[in-house]
Amino acid sequence: MHYYRSHVLVCAGSTCVTSGCRAVKETILEGIKSHQLEEEIKVVETGCMGFCELGPLVVVYPEGVMYCRVKAEDAAVIVNEHLLKGRIVKQLLYQDPNTRKPVPLVKDLHFLSKQTKIAMRNAGLINPKDIEEYIAGEGYFALAKVLSSMSPEEVIIEIKKSGLRGRGGAGFLTGLKWEFTAKAQGTQKYVVCNGDEGVPGVFMDRSILEGDPHSVIEAMAVAGYAIGADQGYVYVRAEYPLAVEKLRHAINQACEYGLLGENILGSGFNFDVNIRVGAGAFVCGEETALLASIEGRRGEPRPRPPFPANEGLWGKPTLINNVETFSSIPPIILKGGEWYASMGTEKSKGTKVFALTGKVNNTGLIEIPMGIPLEEIIFDIGGGIPDDKKLKAVQTGGPTGGFIPAEHVNVNMDYESLDELGTQIGSGSLTVLDEDTCVVDLVKFFVEFCQEESCGKCAPCRIGTKRMLEILERITRGEGKVEDIEALEKLCNYIKNTALCGLGQAAPNPVLSMLRYFRPELEAHVRDKHYPASVCAFPFDSPCQNTVEGGVR
Protein backbone atom coordinates (compact mmCIF):
# COMPACT_ATOMS: atom_id res chain seq x y z
CA MET A 1 0.00 0.00 0.00
CA HIS A 2 1.27 3.38 -1.06
CA TYR A 3 1.30 6.14 1.56
CA TYR A 4 0.92 9.73 0.44
CA ARG A 5 2.01 12.60 2.62
CA SER A 6 -0.91 14.69 1.45
CA HIS A 7 -4.33 14.27 -0.11
CA VAL A 8 -5.74 17.19 -2.10
CA LEU A 9 -9.51 16.93 -2.39
CA VAL A 10 -11.09 18.82 -5.26
CA CYS A 11 -14.86 19.13 -5.06
CA ALA A 12 -16.34 17.95 -8.37
CA GLY A 13 -20.04 18.11 -7.66
CA SER A 14 -21.98 19.43 -10.64
CA THR A 15 -22.09 22.93 -9.19
CA CYS A 16 -18.33 23.17 -8.86
CA VAL A 17 -17.92 21.58 -12.28
CA THR A 18 -19.87 24.43 -13.79
CA SER A 19 -17.72 26.84 -11.78
CA GLY A 20 -14.58 25.48 -13.35
CA CYS A 21 -13.17 22.93 -10.90
CA ARG A 22 -11.87 20.74 -13.72
CA ALA A 23 -9.39 23.44 -14.75
CA VAL A 24 -8.38 23.78 -11.11
CA LYS A 25 -7.76 20.06 -10.82
CA GLU A 26 -5.78 19.98 -14.06
CA THR A 27 -3.60 22.85 -12.89
CA ILE A 28 -2.92 21.14 -9.58
CA LEU A 29 -2.04 17.89 -11.34
CA GLU A 30 0.28 19.71 -13.72
CA GLY A 31 1.92 21.49 -10.84
CA ILE A 32 2.42 18.26 -8.90
CA LYS A 33 3.92 16.64 -11.98
CA SER A 34 6.26 19.50 -12.70
CA HIS A 35 7.56 19.36 -9.13
CA GLN A 36 7.74 15.56 -9.31
CA LEU A 37 5.45 15.11 -6.33
CA GLU A 38 3.26 12.36 -7.83
CA GLU A 39 4.48 9.79 -5.32
CA GLU A 40 3.88 12.09 -2.38
CA ILE A 41 0.66 13.88 -3.10
CA LYS A 42 -2.63 12.38 -4.26
CA VAL A 43 -5.33 14.45 -5.90
CA VAL A 44 -8.82 13.13 -5.24
CA GLU A 45 -11.89 14.24 -7.14
CA THR A 46 -14.78 14.03 -4.71
CA GLY A 47 -18.49 14.61 -4.89
CA CYS A 48 -20.29 17.66 -3.55
CA MET A 49 -18.81 19.01 -0.34
CA GLY A 50 -21.89 21.04 0.37
CA PHE A 51 -20.52 24.56 0.65
CA CYS A 52 -21.75 25.48 -2.79
CA GLU A 53 -21.56 29.23 -2.22
CA LEU A 54 -17.78 28.91 -1.87
CA GLY A 55 -16.91 26.72 -4.84
CA PRO A 56 -14.71 25.63 -6.53
CA LEU A 57 -13.33 24.13 -3.34
CA VAL A 58 -9.99 22.51 -2.62
CA VAL A 59 -9.28 20.85 0.74
CA VAL A 60 -5.74 19.84 1.59
CA TYR A 61 -5.18 17.01 4.06
CA PRO A 62 -3.78 16.08 6.51
CA GLU A 63 -4.27 19.63 7.81
CA GLY A 64 -7.76 19.96 6.46
CA VAL A 65 -7.18 23.44 5.07
CA MET A 66 -10.02 24.61 2.86
CA TYR A 67 -9.48 26.95 -0.06
CA CYS A 68 -12.54 28.50 -1.61
CA ARG A 69 -13.50 30.21 -4.86
CA VAL A 70 -10.37 28.68 -6.35
CA LYS A 71 -9.57 29.60 -9.93
CA ALA A 72 -7.05 27.86 -12.15
CA GLU A 73 -4.43 30.57 -11.45
CA ASP A 74 -4.98 30.12 -7.72
CA ALA A 75 -4.42 26.41 -8.08
CA ALA A 76 -0.85 27.04 -9.19
CA VAL A 77 -0.27 29.12 -6.07
CA ILE A 78 -1.65 26.32 -3.88
CA VAL A 79 0.83 23.90 -5.41
CA ASN A 80 3.82 26.18 -5.12
CA GLU A 81 3.08 27.54 -1.68
CA HIS A 82 1.14 24.92 0.25
CA LEU A 83 2.06 21.61 -1.36
CA LEU A 84 5.68 22.42 -2.02
CA LYS A 85 6.52 24.64 0.93
CA GLY A 86 3.79 23.93 3.48
CA ARG A 87 2.68 27.58 3.56
CA ILE A 88 -1.04 28.22 3.77
CA VAL A 89 -2.32 30.51 1.04
CA LYS A 90 -4.13 33.13 3.16
CA GLN A 91 -5.94 34.94 0.35
CA LEU A 92 -7.81 31.78 -0.65
CA LEU A 93 -9.08 30.98 2.84
CA TYR A 94 -12.73 31.41 3.86
CA GLN A 95 -13.39 34.70 5.66
CA ASP A 96 -16.07 34.59 8.35
CA PRO A 97 -18.31 37.58 7.49
CA ASN A 98 -19.14 38.19 11.15
CA THR A 99 -15.69 37.97 12.76
CA ARG A 100 -13.96 39.06 9.56
CA LYS A 101 -11.25 36.54 10.44
CA PRO A 102 -10.02 33.75 8.14
CA VAL A 103 -11.08 30.19 9.00
CA PRO A 104 -8.35 27.94 7.62
CA LEU A 105 -9.58 24.53 8.72
CA VAL A 106 -12.66 22.95 7.26
CA LYS A 107 -13.62 21.42 10.59
CA ASP A 108 -13.76 24.86 12.16
CA LEU A 109 -16.27 26.17 9.67
CA HIS A 110 -19.37 27.24 11.47
CA PHE A 111 -21.36 26.07 8.48
CA LEU A 112 -20.16 22.55 9.25
CA SER A 113 -20.20 22.51 13.01
CA LYS A 114 -23.96 22.43 13.34
CA GLN A 115 -24.31 19.63 10.83
CA THR A 116 -24.61 15.92 11.48
CA LYS A 117 -23.70 14.16 8.26
CA ILE A 118 -25.31 10.79 7.85
CA ALA A 119 -26.76 10.65 4.34
CA MET A 120 -23.98 13.01 3.21
CA ARG A 121 -21.30 11.35 5.33
CA ASN A 122 -19.05 10.40 2.43
CA ALA A 123 -19.95 12.95 -0.23
CA GLY A 124 -17.12 15.39 -0.55
CA LEU A 125 -14.73 13.16 1.36
CA ILE A 126 -14.13 10.12 -0.81
CA ASN A 127 -13.38 9.42 -4.43
CA PRO A 128 -16.70 7.98 -5.63
CA LYS A 129 -14.88 6.09 -8.34
CA ASP A 130 -12.83 4.08 -5.87
CA ILE A 131 -14.89 1.45 -4.09
CA GLU A 132 -12.07 0.84 -1.65
CA GLU A 133 -12.40 4.36 -0.28
CA TYR A 134 -16.07 3.60 0.36
CA ILE A 135 -15.19 0.29 2.02
CA ALA A 136 -12.53 2.03 4.12
CA GLY A 137 -15.33 4.06 5.72
CA GLU A 138 -17.27 0.92 6.72
CA GLY A 139 -18.78 0.71 3.29
CA TYR A 140 -20.65 -2.54 2.55
CA PHE A 141 -20.19 -3.48 6.25
CA ALA A 142 -23.93 -3.04 6.70
CA LEU A 143 -24.66 -5.43 3.84
CA ALA A 144 -22.19 -7.92 5.27
CA LYS A 145 -23.76 -7.62 8.73
CA VAL A 146 -27.24 -8.08 7.36
CA LEU A 147 -26.34 -11.09 5.21
CA SER A 148 -24.35 -12.84 7.90
CA SER A 149 -26.13 -12.12 11.14
CA MET A 150 -29.62 -10.72 10.61
CA SER A 151 -32.86 -12.13 9.30
CA PRO A 152 -34.95 -10.05 6.89
CA GLU A 153 -37.44 -9.48 9.71
CA GLU A 154 -34.70 -8.22 12.00
CA VAL A 155 -33.56 -5.76 9.35
CA ILE A 156 -37.05 -4.36 9.05
CA ILE A 157 -37.38 -4.08 12.83
CA GLU A 158 -34.20 -2.01 12.90
CA ILE A 159 -35.43 0.34 10.18
CA LYS A 160 -38.75 0.70 11.98
CA LYS A 161 -36.94 1.49 15.22
CA SER A 162 -35.04 4.27 13.49
CA GLY A 163 -38.22 6.17 12.68
CA LEU A 164 -36.73 7.09 9.31
CA ARG A 165 -39.30 8.75 7.07
CA GLY A 166 -39.15 9.02 3.29
CA ARG A 167 -36.85 11.88 2.42
CA GLY A 168 -38.20 12.48 -1.08
CA GLY A 169 -41.06 14.53 0.27
CA ALA A 170 -43.96 12.31 1.29
CA GLY A 171 -42.36 11.47 4.64
CA PHE A 172 -43.88 8.00 4.84
CA LEU A 173 -42.37 5.76 7.52
CA THR A 174 -39.67 3.81 5.72
CA GLY A 175 -39.76 0.79 8.01
CA LEU A 176 -43.50 0.46 7.47
CA LYS A 177 -43.08 0.59 3.70
CA TRP A 178 -40.39 -2.11 3.87
CA GLU A 179 -42.70 -4.20 6.00
CA PHE A 180 -45.64 -3.89 3.57
CA THR A 181 -43.48 -4.88 0.63
CA ALA A 182 -41.90 -7.77 2.54
CA LYS A 183 -45.38 -9.07 3.39
CA ALA A 184 -46.72 -8.70 -0.16
CA GLN A 185 -47.55 -11.86 -2.04
CA GLY A 186 -45.24 -12.90 -4.83
CA THR A 187 -41.82 -14.36 -5.54
CA GLN A 188 -40.59 -11.65 -7.89
CA LYS A 189 -40.14 -8.31 -6.19
CA TYR A 190 -38.21 -5.17 -7.02
CA VAL A 191 -36.33 -2.41 -5.25
CA VAL A 192 -36.44 0.96 -6.97
CA CYS A 193 -34.49 4.08 -6.06
CA ASN A 194 -36.19 7.35 -6.98
CA GLY A 195 -33.43 9.57 -8.30
CA ASP A 196 -35.69 11.84 -10.33
CA GLU A 197 -35.13 14.85 -8.01
CA GLY A 198 -37.22 17.27 -10.01
CA VAL A 199 -37.78 20.07 -7.50
CA PRO A 200 -35.92 23.14 -8.77
CA GLY A 201 -33.15 24.28 -6.43
CA VAL A 202 -32.74 20.92 -4.72
CA PHE A 203 -29.67 18.81 -5.35
CA MET A 204 -28.90 16.54 -2.43
CA ASP A 205 -29.87 13.40 -4.32
CA ARG A 206 -27.62 14.50 -7.14
CA SER A 207 -24.77 15.09 -4.72
CA ILE A 208 -25.21 11.70 -3.09
CA LEU A 209 -25.39 9.89 -6.44
CA GLU A 210 -22.34 11.78 -7.70
CA GLY A 211 -20.33 11.70 -4.51
CA ASP A 212 -21.33 8.48 -2.76
CA PRO A 213 -23.17 6.17 -5.18
CA HIS A 214 -22.16 3.07 -3.25
CA SER A 215 -24.21 4.09 -0.23
CA VAL A 216 -27.32 3.88 -2.39
CA ILE A 217 -26.28 0.59 -3.99
CA GLU A 218 -25.50 -0.99 -0.65
CA ALA A 219 -28.79 0.20 0.84
CA MET A 220 -30.75 -1.19 -2.10
CA ALA A 221 -29.09 -4.56 -1.61
CA VAL A 222 -29.96 -4.45 2.10
CA ALA A 223 -33.54 -3.59 1.16
CA GLY A 224 -33.64 -6.42 -1.36
CA TYR A 225 -32.59 -8.83 1.33
CA ALA A 226 -35.20 -7.48 3.73
CA ILE A 227 -38.14 -7.65 1.34
CA GLY A 228 -37.16 -10.60 -0.83
CA ALA A 229 -36.14 -8.89 -4.05
CA ASP A 230 -33.22 -9.78 -6.30
CA GLN A 231 -33.43 -6.90 -8.77
CA GLY A 232 -33.03 -3.18 -8.26
CA TYR A 233 -33.45 -0.17 -10.52
CA VAL A 234 -32.11 3.32 -9.95
CA TYR A 235 -34.18 5.83 -11.89
CA VAL A 236 -32.08 8.92 -12.50
CA ARG A 237 -33.33 12.02 -14.24
CA ALA A 238 -31.76 12.58 -17.64
CA GLU A 239 -30.38 15.94 -16.56
CA TYR A 240 -27.90 14.26 -14.18
CA PRO A 241 -25.33 12.74 -16.56
CA LEU A 242 -22.52 12.88 -13.97
CA ALA A 243 -24.67 11.00 -11.49
CA VAL A 244 -25.49 8.36 -14.09
CA GLU A 245 -21.82 8.00 -14.95
CA LYS A 246 -20.69 7.69 -11.34
CA LEU A 247 -23.48 5.28 -10.55
CA ARG A 248 -22.70 3.09 -13.53
CA HIS A 249 -19.06 2.99 -12.56
CA ALA A 250 -19.93 2.12 -8.99
CA ILE A 251 -22.29 -0.67 -10.01
CA ASN A 252 -19.62 -2.19 -12.20
CA GLN A 253 -17.04 -1.99 -9.43
CA ALA A 254 -19.39 -3.51 -6.89
CA CYS A 255 -20.00 -6.40 -9.29
CA GLU A 256 -16.27 -6.87 -9.77
CA TYR A 257 -15.79 -7.05 -6.01
CA GLY A 258 -18.62 -9.57 -5.63
CA LEU A 259 -20.74 -7.13 -3.65
CA LEU A 260 -23.47 -7.24 -6.31
CA GLY A 261 -24.56 -10.12 -8.47
CA GLU A 262 -24.93 -13.74 -7.49
CA ASN A 263 -24.17 -15.24 -4.11
CA ILE A 264 -22.99 -11.99 -2.52
CA LEU A 265 -20.30 -12.62 0.06
CA GLY A 266 -21.12 -16.33 -0.17
CA SER A 267 -24.49 -15.78 1.45
CA GLY A 268 -26.60 -17.21 -1.33
CA PHE A 269 -28.31 -13.83 -1.75
CA ASN A 270 -28.43 -12.42 -5.29
CA PHE A 271 -28.97 -8.78 -6.13
CA ASP A 272 -28.50 -6.80 -9.33
CA VAL A 273 -28.86 -3.10 -9.92
CA ASN A 274 -29.69 -1.48 -13.25
CA ILE A 275 -29.98 2.17 -14.17
CA ARG A 276 -32.95 3.67 -15.92
CA VAL A 277 -32.66 7.24 -17.17
CA GLY A 278 -35.60 9.64 -17.26
CA ALA A 279 -36.55 11.93 -20.14
CA GLY A 280 -37.32 15.34 -18.73
CA ALA A 281 -40.57 14.96 -16.77
CA PHE A 282 -40.96 16.26 -13.22
CA VAL A 283 -44.06 14.10 -12.85
CA CYS A 284 -41.90 10.99 -13.16
CA GLY A 285 -40.77 11.64 -9.62
CA GLU A 286 -44.26 10.49 -8.60
CA GLU A 287 -43.83 6.83 -7.78
CA THR A 288 -46.46 5.32 -10.07
CA ALA A 289 -45.42 7.58 -12.97
CA LEU A 290 -41.81 6.58 -12.35
CA LEU A 291 -42.70 2.90 -12.49
CA ALA A 292 -44.66 3.46 -15.71
CA SER A 293 -41.62 5.19 -17.15
CA ILE A 294 -39.36 2.25 -16.27
CA GLU A 295 -41.84 -0.04 -17.99
CA GLY A 296 -41.49 2.04 -21.15
CA ARG A 297 -44.95 3.49 -20.84
CA ARG A 298 -46.00 7.11 -20.77
CA GLY A 299 -44.95 8.58 -17.43
CA GLU A 300 -48.35 9.30 -15.89
CA PRO A 301 -49.48 8.58 -12.33
CA ARG A 302 -52.31 6.19 -11.70
CA PRO A 303 -54.80 6.00 -8.86
CA ARG A 304 -53.80 4.07 -5.73
CA PRO A 305 -54.70 1.54 -4.40
CA PRO A 306 -53.15 -0.69 -5.53
CA PHE A 307 -49.96 0.63 -3.95
CA PRO A 308 -46.56 -0.28 -5.41
CA ALA A 309 -45.81 -2.37 -2.32
CA ASN A 310 -48.38 -4.83 -3.61
CA GLU A 311 -48.51 -4.05 -7.31
CA GLY A 312 -45.60 -2.06 -8.65
CA LEU A 313 -43.14 -2.62 -11.45
CA TRP A 314 -44.76 -4.96 -13.99
CA GLY A 315 -47.46 -5.65 -11.43
CA LYS A 316 -44.99 -7.06 -8.89
CA PRO A 317 -44.46 -5.90 -5.29
CA THR A 318 -42.03 -3.00 -5.44
CA LEU A 319 -40.25 -1.02 -2.79
CA ILE A 320 -39.52 2.49 -3.96
CA ASN A 321 -37.48 4.87 -1.83
CA ASN A 322 -35.67 8.14 -2.34
CA VAL A 323 -31.88 8.49 -2.74
CA GLU A 324 -31.38 10.27 0.57
CA THR A 325 -33.56 7.71 2.34
CA PHE A 326 -31.43 4.88 1.00
CA SER A 327 -28.19 6.67 1.82
CA SER A 328 -29.27 6.83 5.48
CA ILE A 329 -29.76 3.07 5.69
CA PRO A 330 -26.20 1.68 6.08
CA PRO A 331 -25.40 3.77 9.20
CA ILE A 332 -28.76 2.74 10.70
CA ILE A 333 -27.87 -0.91 10.22
CA LEU A 334 -24.39 -0.48 11.66
CA LYS A 335 -25.21 1.79 14.57
CA GLY A 336 -28.76 0.65 15.23
CA GLY A 337 -32.19 2.14 14.78
CA GLU A 338 -32.16 3.52 18.31
CA TRP A 339 -29.07 5.55 17.55
CA TYR A 340 -30.83 7.21 14.59
CA ALA A 341 -33.98 7.75 16.64
CA SER A 342 -31.96 9.50 19.32
CA MET A 343 -31.73 12.45 16.95
CA GLY A 344 -34.58 14.63 15.83
CA THR A 345 -38.02 15.03 17.39
CA GLU A 346 -40.66 12.59 18.56
CA LYS A 347 -42.28 12.11 15.18
CA SER A 348 -39.49 13.30 12.92
CA LYS A 349 -36.43 11.23 13.70
CA GLY A 350 -32.90 11.47 12.44
CA THR A 351 -31.34 14.04 10.13
CA LYS A 352 -32.47 15.73 6.93
CA VAL A 353 -30.44 17.28 4.15
CA PHE A 354 -31.62 20.75 3.22
CA ALA A 355 -30.65 22.76 0.17
CA LEU A 356 -30.20 26.27 1.52
CA THR A 357 -30.51 28.78 -1.31
CA GLY A 358 -31.70 32.25 -2.07
CA LYS A 359 -30.98 35.44 -0.16
CA VAL A 360 -28.64 33.90 2.38
CA ASN A 361 -24.90 34.15 2.77
CA ASN A 362 -23.99 30.51 3.00
CA THR A 363 -25.78 28.61 0.27
CA GLY A 364 -25.29 24.91 -0.16
CA LEU A 365 -26.30 21.59 1.29
CA ILE A 366 -26.64 21.12 5.03
CA GLU A 367 -27.56 18.01 6.95
CA ILE A 368 -29.01 18.66 10.37
CA PRO A 369 -31.04 16.83 12.98
CA MET A 370 -34.77 17.30 12.56
CA GLY A 371 -36.26 19.86 14.90
CA ILE A 372 -33.62 22.59 14.71
CA PRO A 373 -35.29 26.01 14.66
CA LEU A 374 -35.38 27.63 11.22
CA GLU A 375 -33.91 30.79 12.76
CA GLU A 376 -30.72 28.91 13.53
CA ILE A 377 -30.47 27.59 10.00
CA ILE A 378 -30.87 31.01 8.41
CA PHE A 379 -28.89 33.22 10.73
CA ASP A 380 -26.39 30.85 12.29
CA ILE A 381 -25.51 28.11 9.82
CA GLY A 382 -26.62 30.21 6.90
CA GLY A 383 -24.74 33.27 8.02
CA GLY A 384 -27.73 35.59 7.70
CA ILE A 385 -29.14 37.68 4.87
CA PRO A 386 -26.65 39.47 2.62
CA ASP A 387 -26.56 43.27 2.32
CA ASP A 388 -28.34 43.66 5.65
CA LYS A 389 -31.73 43.08 4.04
CA LYS A 390 -34.73 42.04 6.10
CA LEU A 391 -35.97 38.45 6.03
CA LYS A 392 -39.37 38.23 4.37
CA ALA A 393 -40.00 34.51 4.36
CA VAL A 394 -38.45 31.13 3.74
CA GLN A 395 -40.03 29.08 0.98
CA THR A 396 -39.87 25.35 1.67
CA GLY A 397 -40.68 22.30 -0.40
CA GLY A 398 -40.20 23.87 -3.80
CA PRO A 399 -42.99 24.50 -6.31
CA THR A 400 -45.44 22.41 -4.31
CA GLY A 401 -44.59 23.91 -0.95
CA GLY A 402 -45.38 27.07 0.95
CA PHE A 403 -43.97 30.00 2.88
CA ILE A 404 -42.74 30.36 6.41
CA PRO A 405 -43.11 34.08 6.97
CA ALA A 406 -40.59 35.99 9.08
CA GLU A 407 -42.91 35.97 12.09
CA HIS A 408 -42.69 32.16 12.20
CA VAL A 409 -38.94 31.91 11.69
CA ASN A 410 -38.54 30.24 15.06
CA VAL A 411 -40.47 27.18 13.89
CA ASN A 412 -38.81 23.83 14.48
CA MET A 413 -37.91 22.10 11.25
CA ASP A 414 -39.90 18.89 11.45
CA TYR A 415 -42.73 17.37 9.42
CA GLU A 416 -45.55 18.15 11.82
CA SER A 417 -44.59 21.74 12.64
CA LEU A 418 -44.35 22.70 8.99
CA ASP A 419 -47.62 20.95 8.11
CA GLU A 420 -49.30 23.11 10.73
CA LEU A 421 -47.99 26.23 9.04
CA GLY A 422 -49.42 25.11 5.71
CA THR A 423 -46.14 24.08 4.12
CA GLN A 424 -43.95 20.97 4.06
CA ILE A 425 -40.44 19.77 4.64
CA GLY A 426 -40.81 18.13 1.25
CA SER A 427 -37.55 17.32 -0.44
CA GLY A 428 -35.65 19.83 1.72
CA SER A 429 -35.67 22.94 -0.36
CA LEU A 430 -35.13 26.09 1.72
CA THR A 431 -35.22 29.28 -0.32
CA VAL A 432 -34.63 32.43 1.69
CA LEU A 433 -36.54 35.51 0.56
CA ASP A 434 -35.77 39.06 1.58
CA GLU A 435 -37.77 42.26 1.35
CA ASP A 436 -36.93 42.61 -2.36
CA THR A 437 -38.67 39.38 -3.31
CA CYS A 438 -42.15 39.70 -4.73
CA VAL A 439 -44.17 36.82 -3.34
CA VAL A 440 -46.78 37.08 -6.08
CA ASP A 441 -44.16 36.87 -8.78
CA LEU A 442 -42.49 33.92 -7.06
CA VAL A 443 -45.79 32.10 -6.69
CA LYS A 444 -46.51 32.68 -10.36
CA PHE A 445 -43.15 31.11 -11.17
CA PHE A 446 -43.97 28.03 -9.08
CA VAL A 447 -47.41 27.63 -10.62
CA GLU A 448 -45.90 27.98 -14.07
CA PHE A 449 -43.54 25.16 -13.22
CA CYS A 450 -46.30 22.84 -12.07
CA GLN A 451 -48.46 23.75 -15.03
CA GLU A 452 -45.68 22.91 -17.47
CA GLU A 453 -44.93 19.66 -15.70
CA SER A 454 -48.53 18.49 -15.35
CA CYS A 455 -48.88 15.14 -17.06
CA GLY A 456 -52.29 16.10 -18.43
CA LYS A 457 -54.25 13.04 -17.40
CA CYS A 458 -56.72 14.56 -14.98
CA ALA A 459 -58.83 17.65 -15.68
CA PRO A 460 -58.28 19.47 -12.35
CA CYS A 461 -54.50 19.63 -12.81
CA ARG A 462 -54.33 19.80 -16.60
CA ILE A 463 -56.79 22.65 -16.93
CA GLY A 464 -56.85 23.93 -13.35
CA THR A 465 -53.15 24.78 -13.14
CA LYS A 466 -53.43 26.55 -16.47
CA ARG A 467 -56.34 28.67 -15.24
CA MET A 468 -54.49 29.37 -11.96
CA LEU A 469 -51.50 30.53 -13.94
CA GLU A 470 -53.60 32.71 -16.22
CA ILE A 471 -55.07 34.52 -13.24
CA LEU A 472 -51.63 35.06 -11.70
CA GLU A 473 -50.22 36.23 -15.01
CA ARG A 474 -52.94 38.80 -15.34
CA ILE A 475 -52.33 39.96 -11.79
CA THR A 476 -48.59 40.33 -12.30
CA ARG A 477 -49.26 42.18 -15.57
CA GLY A 478 -51.30 44.72 -13.69
CA GLU A 479 -54.61 43.44 -15.07
CA GLY A 480 -55.87 41.74 -11.91
CA LYS A 481 -59.53 42.07 -11.01
CA VAL A 482 -60.86 42.09 -7.46
CA GLU A 483 -62.90 38.94 -8.09
CA ASP A 484 -59.70 37.15 -9.06
CA ILE A 485 -58.60 36.54 -5.48
CA GLU A 486 -61.73 34.69 -4.45
CA ALA A 487 -61.84 32.84 -7.76
CA LEU A 488 -58.22 31.86 -7.30
CA GLU A 489 -58.79 30.59 -3.78
CA LYS A 490 -61.81 28.51 -4.83
CA LEU A 491 -59.87 27.07 -7.73
CA CYS A 492 -56.92 26.20 -5.50
CA ASN A 493 -59.01 24.39 -2.92
CA TYR A 494 -60.80 22.49 -5.67
CA ILE A 495 -57.58 21.35 -7.36
CA LYS A 496 -56.02 20.37 -4.03
CA ASN A 497 -59.03 18.26 -3.18
CA THR A 498 -59.75 16.66 -6.53
CA ALA A 499 -56.54 16.08 -8.49
CA LEU A 500 -55.46 12.52 -9.18
CA CYS A 501 -51.89 12.65 -7.87
CA GLY A 502 -49.56 14.52 -5.55
CA LEU A 503 -48.42 16.97 -8.22
CA GLY A 504 -51.90 18.32 -8.80
CA GLN A 505 -52.89 18.08 -5.15
CA ALA A 506 -49.87 20.14 -4.10
CA ALA A 507 -49.62 22.56 -7.03
CA PRO A 508 -51.93 25.06 -5.35
CA ASN A 509 -49.87 25.10 -2.13
CA PRO A 510 -47.75 28.15 -2.97
CA VAL A 511 -50.90 30.10 -3.79
CA LEU A 512 -52.75 29.00 -0.66
CA SER A 513 -49.73 29.80 1.46
CA MET A 514 -49.52 33.23 -0.14
CA LEU A 515 -53.20 33.77 0.62
CA ARG A 516 -52.57 32.79 4.22
CA TYR A 517 -49.52 34.94 4.92
CA PHE A 518 -49.20 37.52 2.16
CA ARG A 519 -52.76 38.38 1.27
CA PRO A 520 -52.08 42.13 1.65
CA GLU A 521 -49.32 41.91 -0.95
CA LEU A 522 -51.64 40.11 -3.36
CA GLU A 523 -54.43 42.56 -2.69
CA ALA A 524 -52.03 45.42 -3.34
CA HIS A 525 -51.32 43.94 -6.78
CA VAL A 526 -54.95 43.43 -7.62
CA ARG A 527 -56.83 46.25 -5.98
CA ASP A 528 -54.31 49.03 -5.69
CA LYS A 529 -52.09 48.11 -8.61
CA HIS A 530 -49.27 48.65 -6.13
CA TYR A 531 -46.30 46.35 -6.20
CA PRO A 532 -44.51 46.36 -2.84
CA ALA A 533 -41.38 44.67 -4.09
CA SER A 534 -41.39 46.51 -7.38
CA VAL A 535 -40.90 43.30 -9.28
CA CYS A 536 -44.22 43.15 -11.09
CA ALA A 537 -44.17 46.88 -11.71
CA PHE A 538 -44.72 46.58 -15.46
CA PRO A 539 -46.90 49.65 -15.66
CA PHE A 540 -44.18 51.72 -14.06
CA ASP A 541 -40.90 52.79 -15.62
CA SER A 542 -38.89 52.51 -12.46
CA PRO A 543 -39.23 50.92 -9.03
CA CYS A 544 -39.26 54.28 -7.30
CA GLN A 545 -42.29 55.37 -9.30
CA ASN A 546 -44.01 52.27 -8.05
CA THR A 547 -43.08 52.61 -4.40
CA VAL A 548 -44.00 56.26 -3.99
CA GLU A 549 -47.34 56.58 -2.21
CA GLY A 550 -50.12 56.99 -4.69
CA GLY A 551 -47.81 56.25 -7.59
CA VAL A 552 -46.48 58.72 -10.10
CA ARG A 553 -47.51 58.90 -13.73
Partner 1 sequence: MPMVTLTIDGKEVQVEQGTTVLEAAKKVNINIPTLCYLKDINVIGACRVCVVEVKGARTLQAACVTPAAENMVVLTNTPAVRNSRRMTLELILSNHPFECLTCVRNQNCELQSLAEAFGIREVRYTGANPEHKEDNSSVSLVRDPDKCILCRRCVSVCEKVQTVCAIGPQGRGFETVIAPGVDMVLAESNCVNCSQCVLVCPTGALCERDQTEQVWAALADPKKHVVVQTAPAVRVSIGEMFGKEPGSVATGQMVAAIRKLGFDKVFDTDFTADLTIMEEGSELLERVKTGGTLPLITSCSPGWIKFIEHFYPTLLPHVSTCKSPQQMFGALAKTFYAEKAGVDPADVFSVSIMPCTAKKFEAQRPEMNASGYQDVDVVLTTRELGRMFKQAGIDFNELPEENYDDPLGISTGAAVIFGATGGVMEAALRTVYEIVTGNTLASVDFVDVRGLEGVKEATVKVGDLDVKVAVAHGLGNARKLLDALQAGEANYHFIEIMCCPGGCIGGGGQPIPTNYEIRQKRINGIYTADEAMTLRKSHENPAIQQLYKEYLEKPLGHKSHELLHTKYTPRGQFKVD
Cβ neighbors of 519 (< 8 A, separation 6 or more) are 485
- Exactly one of 17, 176, 463, 535 binds partner 1 (CB under 8 A); which one? 463
Binding of residue 457 to partner 1 (CB under 8 A): yes
Sign of torsion over alpha carbons 237, 243, 249, 252: negative
Q: How many CB atoms lie within 10 A of CB 237?
A: 23
Q: Please, what is the minimum distance in Å from the beta carbon of residue 292 to partner 1?
A: 12
Among candidates 250, 231, 235, which has minimal Cα distance to 195?
235
Stretch that binds partner 1, among 136-144, 285-293, 339-347, 453-461 (CB under 8 A): 453-461
For residues 167 and 424, is the Cβ–Cβ distance under 8 A? Answer: no
DSSP H helical ranges for 184-284: 204-211, 213-227, 241-256
Identify which of residues 490 and 527 has a Cβ nearer to partner 1 in the complex.
490
How far lies 46's CA from each of 128, 214, 395, 495, in Å?
6, 13, 30, 44
Q: Which of 466, 489, 543, 545 binds partner 1 (CB under 8 A)?
A: 466
Q: For residue 241, say if its preceding peptide bond is cis, omega within 30 degrees of 0.
A: no
* Identified binder of partner 1 from the candidate list 293, 328, 400, 451, rule CB under 8 A: 451
Distance CA 203, CA 291 (A): 22
Dihedral-angle region of residue 263 (phi above 0 means left; psi in -120 to 50 means alpha; beta otherwise)? left
238 lies in the site for partner 1, by CB under 8 A: no
Taking residues 243 to 282 in sequence order and writing x for each that binds partner 1 by CB under 8 A, - otherwise, the string is --------------------------------------x-
Q: Report helix, strand or coil for 429.
A: strand
Pairing state between β 190-195 and 102-103: unpaired
Closer to partner 1 by Cβ: residue 249 or 457: 457
d(CA 57, CA 109): 13
Give the residue, chosen from 249, 467, 516, 529, that forms a contact with partner 1 under the rule CB under 8 A. 467
Judged by beta carbon, residue 92 or residue 291, the one nearer partner 1 is: 291
CB distance 366 to 405 below 8 Å: no
Among 454, 476, 509, 513, interactor with partner 1 by CB under 8 A: 454
447 is an interface residue for partner 1 by CB under 8 A: no
Rounded to whole angstroms, the Cα distance separating 58 from 49 reads: 10
Least distance to partner 1 from the beta carbon of 168, Å?
18
CB of 441 to partner 1, least distance (A): 19
Number of residues that bind partner 1 (CB under 8 A): 32
* 483-542 positions binding partner 1, by CB under 8 A: 487, 490-491, 494, 496-500, 505
**22: contact with partner 1 by CB under 8 A:** no
Asked if 456 interacts with partner 1 (CB under 8 A), we say yes
Q: Which of 222, 455, 472, 533 forms a contact with partner 1 (CB under 8 A)?
A: 455
Site string for partner 1, 276-295 (x = CB under 8 A): -----x--------------
Which residues of the shown chain bind partner 1 in the complex (CB under 8 A)?
281, 298, 302-303, 305, 451-460, 462-467, 470, 487, 490-491, 494, 496-500, 505
